[in-house]
Structure 1
Amino acid sequence: MPGPLPGPRPGPMLTAALSALALVLTACGAGAGTGEVRTGAELSAVPAFNEQPYENVRDGGTVTLPLRSDLNPQFNRHQGDTTLDTLTVWRWYNPVLVTFTPQGEPRFNPDYLVSAVDERIGDDTRITYTINPRAVFNDGTPIDWRAFEATWRARNGRDTAYIAQSTDGYDRIASVTRGADDRQVVVTFDGVHAWWPGLFPELVHPAVAADPAVFNQGYLNEPHPEWGAGPYTVAAHDRQNSTITFERNPAWWGRPGKLDRVTLVQMEPTAKINAFRNGQLDATEAESADLLAQARSAPGADVRISARTASFLLTVNSAAPLLGDPGVRRAIMQGVDRGQLVDIAFQGMDYTEEPLGSLMLKPYQEGYRDNLSAVVDGGPEAAAEGLDALGWVPGPDGIRVKDGTPLSITFVQTGDTPASRAAAGALVAMMRAIGVDLQVRQVPAADFSSVLANKEFDLLISGFMSVDPYGIAGICQLYCSTSQLNNSGTGTPELDAQLQRVATLATPAEQFAAANAAEQKALGSYGLLPLYSGPETWVTRADLANFGASLFHRALPETIGRTG
């Protein structure tokens, strides 16, 4: 679970990968700025989501919201093939036990948890959760200690038949047992664990974890509302049109949802803007200056901007035929002008930042260190020298050749906007300058999940969102050779052991030091190149409450609605 924000609690657990240039569409277009340039550090203290108490949100109405990239066929947020959209969909109709304030303080949902108490027992951390006695899954199964045990069993990595989204933290739990009764669960760690609130924010139904085949495949193209719980349940799932609709759940015991109906829909970025302007969507992300200018001109539009708790990166697929040599991968990274990509990404957005030097933490978080500069130094000249030494000789057209094979690789461009085209074009020019022929393959944003899952790329820009403030705890999810999030194919068992050791250290300060050392070594495998974080920019209807750019906060579903 990755790093801390400034403040009392260290910080973020990683979640699934996001669509590359569906999130990286922060680029290029008409200058729509106001002239006041802000930084990520400044925006990290300014959430913008029209926060309203439950009582201020009116009853009734409908809301239609966009997915960030696609309606993933994998609906199980705990399984390894998920994206952030999987989590977004999941939270609308499944138990949400823990949320976080924008700055990362945990909040326990009383509809599920009466209390959560941590204590030190000798050298170990022990958490006692007391569960609301009314809490049940939609099929009538009690939400009790067995749901915690099932979630842990599927996520701890001991049975490799479960393809888990991440084992980080769960692999440090020694036992999950019944407490004073079925509605109390005792979670005991092997040693100290500072990041425990990030481990059980959502639960899996015990029936799902009973069989690895059900866990891995049971949710494919099937949301299974009977295994869910919460203020809303699934009313309709239209796979062909990539939409899913929720309505109030008659089995819900807590505060009712404010809305009559919520629909989530997948659209390409430009289509989202047009749908917002036409009144078909109630919010849209504006990932570039031109899209922001179009969206903010709609009547009643409200622009909501804060720092984004995301990291974008270039993944170099070491399993690709010409990229198995780490020297070639290093040269490619040396040839990438990350500053230019940052400039493209935020042109006209009144925002700037230095390129990221870490994927664990953001520059405004405690413990952040630029770990990249020590392993990817030099620029195009150093890249050319490295390729020369490896025997890649420039041909008559400038493209390098070795043993009769040209150094030609493919970049997958997700989506088709001025932003994504500009980033792809810049990469082509950068690679050409070092003698690499970069071919661009453009695919729809809806295909992102399959491209990622099947590793159908040589180079790919993608991103991930940190959904809680415990970033250091996700270091293995980032870099371990067995991680579903590490799509570069790099890593070794020895490095895995070094990464896993970080979580065993007793204090945040010790973990920060060890994590930075391990990350520097991981980045030296030349599979993952940090790029930037960027701002989160939503344009919404002015009366949409508890939704927008909210840093680590994700509002409980029942609180989202309209004011007035």
Structure 2
Amino acid sequence: MTVARRFLVMAAIGTAVVTALGACSAAPKTPQGNAPAVHSQDINPKPVSELRDGGTYRWAIQQWITQYNKYQTDGAQGDAEAIVALVEPQLFDRGADGVPKVHTDTLVSAAVTATSPKQVVTYVINPKAKWSDGKPITWRDFEAQWKALNGTNPAYQISSSAGYEKIESIAQGASPNAVVVTFKQGFGDWQLLFDPLFPAVAMDTPAAFNAGWIEKVPVTAGPWKIGSLNKTTQTITVVPDPAYWGTKPKLAAISFRALDSSAITDAYLNNEVDEAPARTPETYKRLKPAKNTDIRVGARWDETHLAFSARGALTDVRVRQALGMAVDRNALVRAISKDLPFALAPLGNHFFMPNQAGYQDNSGIYGTFDQAAARKLLDAAGWTAGAQGKPRTKGGKPLSLTYVLNGSGNQSSKDTAQLIQSMLGQVGVDVQIKQVPGNDYFEKYINVGDFDLAVFRQVDEVFPSMLYDIFRQPSGNNVYQNYGRIGSAQIDQLLLQAQQSTDRQAAIALYNQVDKLIWQAGHSLELYQTPQILAFRHTIANEGATGLGTQNYVTTGFTKS
């Protein structure tokens, strides 16, 4: 069962970071072990028979959810997607190796049934599967989702059309439960489509798609259903759905409480939530000795990056390239690694994680700390160096950029902003940090491109084609998820070629080729694979650091002792 994906607020550098700039060659003082092994998980696995019935698992989220349609522009937010994944039908689960397998509660089977003259995928729906309004799940639901997401109707405010625009037709197959999807072109990552599947009745008009999921989930078909949405207390609760035909959850409820990132550690220590991120030195130090606590670690598809906009001075690619060279990524990861159980390294790829097949470091000169090269690029772009401590100027205007900071973030995110501000200041770039309310951060700033610089995360993009809309060129008013509006026709062409390749190794080669162009374009500066370090109540089983896999909350529960 897929959980949190995309656009989680960055929080990954400890309080000591700001001082690290002046001593960035220092090695971590704390002895560290190896990073989590490839394909490993740390979830306290237990047979369901050893778990007690009932109990409420309390989970902190970072903001109140306004849009529950994960396919709508404002719904591409990790906490919303985590909740939706519990209440809507999943088609696939991923094992620890990241490889998808059919979710048998929803599907009997799913496979490529033809490759010539066109690619055809046939899904067979579990005949017991039905929506909460009593209607069976059918091929019509697949059809409605395709029509909403294929990009042909601009009235649908979609977050991504990746893969859906390659479908030619959807029809009923040989049996009433069979769905035949025919593609116009090959699509290697077909298993990411329709997952989760949404009901046709809540997708088949632009009004239903865009507004029908605002602060509500109109129809469900998962092991859980919405129990309550309380905006006053900022809490959301899901409970088992007695009408669900598949495996029933062991827990009595999962509750979600919106908290500022800075408040989650205290909430855990006060026994108000049952898990908390421990991926920063400051949180790790506080949570590791906590009573009845396990620290669980893994290597998730989870990256933290510095996003650039293409407005103002940043319309010039040389300025964006210079910013990338002026940031000392090694200093950042050394500071992040200090006092954590394992060390990190700068990330060199926008598509693949170091523990994932296909990874190679494509950063080249654009990810190499080189202040002299950064200064030369700024000189060439016409930004004249000023007096010591003064920003560069051009046409009488200073080179001043706005770094938008999530005000709900913890001290770590504030330290990160200050460190980047200091690094860029050394090459003559003035950075003004603008702190904004957490609930406004994405909707009013990132999503609409109202920033010059911002640091945040992408999560669980295990299928590389999921990243298509992050790097493709905007079309008219639709920026997809390319909020910095940076791209090129060549990048688009290679992304499409990679998507269409059904040869996995050929696709990997193409994604690495386009990744080099993304680095060159100064789209964003990859910082590191965000460490997956979590504190859990030791009685919680079958939940934790899942690595490249997905979490099945049906089997999550509390041990009997």
Q: Which structure 2 residues correspond to residues 36-115 of structure 1 after superposition, within 5 A?
A: 36-39=32-35, 42-67=36-61, 69-81=62-74, 82-115=76-109
**TM superposition score normalised by structure 2:** 0.91
Match for residue 555 of structure 1?
Answer: 551
CA contact (8 A) 1:14 1:477 kept: no
> Does 1 or 2 have the higher relative contact order (CA < 8 Å, sep 6+)?
1
Distance 1:27 1:356 in 2: 22
Q: Letter of the aligned partner of 1:242 in structure 2?
A: Q
Match for residue 235 of structure 2?
Answer: 243
Report the more deviating stretch, 103-112 or 428-437. Answer: 103-112
Distance 2:197 2:495 in 1: 26
**1:134 paired to 2:128:** yes
Distance 1:198 1:13 in 2: 13
Distance 2:405 2:16 in 1: 15
Match for residue 376 of structure 2?
Answer: 385
Report the more deviating stretch, 96-105 or 121-130. Answer: 121-130
**1:283 paired to 2:236:** no
Q: Letter of the aligned partner of 2:111 in structure 1?
A: V
Match of 1:176 among 170, 176, 182: 170
After superposition, the Cα gap between the structure-2 partners of 1:13 and 1:162, relative to the gap in structure 1 and judged at 3 Å, is: farther
Distance 1:100 1:26 in 2: 32
After superposition, the Cα gap between the structure-2 partners of 1:433 and 1:38, relative to the gap in structure 1 and judged at 3 Å, is: same
Q: Which structure 2 residues correspond to residues 521-540 of structure 1 after superposition, within 5 A?
A: 521-540=517-536
After superposition, the Cα gap between the structure-2 partners of 1:375 and 1:343, relative to the gap in structure 1 and judged at 3 Å, is: closer
Match of 2:217 among 223, 231, 234: 223
Match of 1:349 among 326, 337, 340: 340
CA contact (8 A) 2:325 2:365 kept: no
Deviations 1:203-231 (A, max 9, x none): 1110122111221222122232xx11122
Q: In the TM superposition, what is the alpha-carbon distance from 1:443 to its structure 2 partner?
A: 3.2
After superposition, the Cα gap between the structure-2 partners of 1:238 and 1:245, relative to the gap in structure 1 and judged at 3 Å, is: same
Distance 1:491 1:13 in 2: 29
Q: Letter of the aligned partner of 1:133 in structure 2?
A: P
- Structure 2: any 5+ residue segments left out of the alignment? 20-26
SS of residue matched to 2:65:
coil
Match of 1:514 among 501, 504, 510: 510
Match of 1:419 among 404, 408, 412: 412
Q: In the TM superposition, what is the alpha-carbon distance from 1:28 to its structure 2 partner?
A: 4.3
SS of residue matched to 1:236:
strand
SS of residue matched to 2:109:
strand
SS of residue matched to 2:415:
helix
SS of residue matched to 1:394:
coil
Distance 1:32 1:66 in 2: 30
Match for residue 4 of structure 1?
Answer: none
Distance 2:3 2:213 in 1: 23
Match for residue 458 of structure 1?
Answer: 452
Q: In the TM superposition, what is the alpha-carbon distance from 1:103 to its structure 2 partner?
A: 1.0
- Number of residues of Structure 1 aligned to a counterpart in Structure 2: 543
CA contact (8 A) 1:70 1:448 kept: no
SS of residue matched to 2:79:
helix
Q: Letter of the aligned partner of 1:353 in structure 2?
A: L
Match of 1:259 among 251, 256, 263: 251
Q: Letter of the aligned partner of 1:550 in structure 2?
A: T
Match for residue 544 of structure 1?
Answer: 540
Distance 2:37 2:493 in 1: 36
CA contact (8 A) 1:73 1:220 kept: yes
SS of residue matched to 1:383:
helix
Distance 2:115 2:336 in 1: 49
Distance 1:244 1:32 in 2: 40
**1:485 paired to 2:481:** yes
Q: Which structure 2 residues correspond to residues 192-203 of structure 1 after superposition, within 5 A?
A: 192-203=186-197
SS of residue matched to 1:201:
coil
Report the more deviating stretch, 484-493 or 303-312. Answer: 484-493
Q: In the TM superposition, what is the alpha-carbon distance from 1:289 to its structure 2 partner?
A: 1.5
Match for residue 349 of structure 2?
Answer: 358
Match for residue 6 of structure 1?
Answer: none
After superposition, the Cα gap between the structure-2 partners of 1:477 and 1:55, relative to the gap in structure 1 and judged at 3 Å, is: farther
> Cα RMSD over matched residues?
2.5
Match for residue 408 of structure 1?
Answer: 400
Distance 1:13 1:299 in 2: 27
Match for residue 285 of structure 2?
Answer: 293
Distance 1:417 1:292 in 2: 13
Distance 1:210 1:487 in 2: 27
**1:337 paired to 2:333:** no
SS of residue matched to 1:358:
coil
Q: Letter of the aligned partner of 2:181 in structure 1?
A: V
CA contact (8 A) 2:3 2:550 kept: no
SS of residue matched to 1:70:
coil
Q: Letter of the aligned partner of 2:9 in structure 1?
A: S
After superposition, the Cα gap between the structure-2 partners of 1:252 and 1:526, relative to the gap in structure 1 and judged at 3 Å, is: same
CA contact (8 A) 2:32 2:343 kept: no
Report the more deviating stretch, 194-203 or 405-414. Answer: 194-203
CA contact (8 A) 2:156 2:206 kept: yes
- Structure 1: any 5+ residue segments left out of the alignment? 1-11
Match for residue 22 of structure 2?
Answer: none
Distance 1:486 1:500 in 2: 16
